[in-house]
Amino acid sequence: MSLLRLAERGLYCEAGDFYIDPWQAVDRAVITHAHGDHARWGSASYLCSRECEPVLRTRLGPAASIRAVAYGESLDMDGVRVSLHPAGHILGSSQVRVEHRGEVWVASGDYKTDPDPTCTPFELVRCHTFITESTFGLPVYRWTPERQVFDEIRAWWAANRDAGRASVLFGYALGKAQRLLAGLADAPVGPVYTHGAVERLNRDYRAAGIRLVDTIYAGGMPRGHDFAGSLVVAPPSAAGSTWLRRFGNISTGFASGWMRIRGARRRRSLDRGFVLSDHVDWPSLLSAVEGTGAERVWVTHGTREPLVRWLTERGIDASAIASQWKGEDDADPVEVAGEEIPA
């Protein structure tokens, strides 16, 4: 019997009787990170990393039973050894290492290997079977160095300010928004306003000691306030909404891995696209998967076949597995609206 398998409610470890990121309510849920498609409501108990706990609490509410462990700390779950290791995706994101009778599996959750000041760097964990995401599993996905992306954002902001416009930058409310705000911490280009969904999570990040640029909750400003020249950070669901009216003359931008693709920006009627992702790009995906030394690889999320083919050609037993996890960047702005915490 396989140590982990896909069951009706999600990825299941029968020997330890727990699920990893179940998409339905279960007794024992091990959570890789607090994004909506990985951390769902209703389970009797949750296990996550210590760094994940505050954001998971913000998502699940005060009644949820959450146990937090330090990265690398081993737990015995019915004879199965479970430990969490940094995934470098967002604050508190973990890979789940499961060991039983000498066999080691690692479920990556979402991950990236690029540096990010808002979370602990990805740790390469050796295993026999690796379950990897492949949100951006195509050779066309190669990220621009972060420093260059932030230079582009600052130049766009300065140009808008000179033209008397506000710059509205969309990024997923949990993780991407804070990465943007951390990247701008040393860039005094003017006041930074936030949408309530972003500001709520900023509190958790700041409480965790992550340095973000100073922000002002946009909803707290008096009617008729002049936002010209400022930067506004908001979730993608705010794009095209009436919430934007208060900012007057604006230029819009979106920070996402999807901005790598021609037409993605135009399709969303955005003025600018900035390629900034919290997932591995194609070269990093290949080197991470190879680095685990896994002889078997399961591929979830996004475009799975190219990676499966690439691994199979190298003698690795690879297969695509069906899942109900969707990359948070995967959805259109409208679809992720339900993920946001109301202001």
Residues that bind Zn ion (CB under 5 A): 35, 110, 325, 328
Residues 6+ apart with CB under 8 A from 269: 239, 240, 252
CA distance 243 to 41: 28
Looking at beta carbons only, is 88 or 273 nearer to Zn ion? 88
User: Whole-angstrom Cα distance, residue 115 to residue 87?
Assistant: 11
Query: Smaller CB distance to Zn ion: residue 192 or 276?
Result: 276
CA distance 342 to 9: 28
Q: Dmax over Cα atoms in the chain, in whole Å? A: 66
Which CB sits closer to Zn ion, 138 or 216? 138
CB of 255: closest distance to Zn ion in angstroms? 15
Cβ–Cβ under 8 Å, residues 82 and 16? yes
Closest CB 89 distance from Zn ion, rounded Å? 6
Contact 235, 176 (CB under 8 A): no
Closer residue to Zn ion in complex, CB, 152/329: 329
The nearer residue to Zn ion, 99 or 329, going by C-beta atoms, is 329
Instruction: Provide the minimum distance between the beta carbon of 137 and Zn ion in the complex, in angstroms, as a whole number.
Output: 13
Pairing mode of beta strands 103-107, 250-255: unpaired
Minimum CB distance to Zn ion, residue 233 (Å): 18
H helix runs in the chain, sequence order: 53-60, 146-162, 176-183, 196-207, 264-267, 282-291, 305-313
Smallest separation (angstroms) from Zn ion to the CB of 327: 5
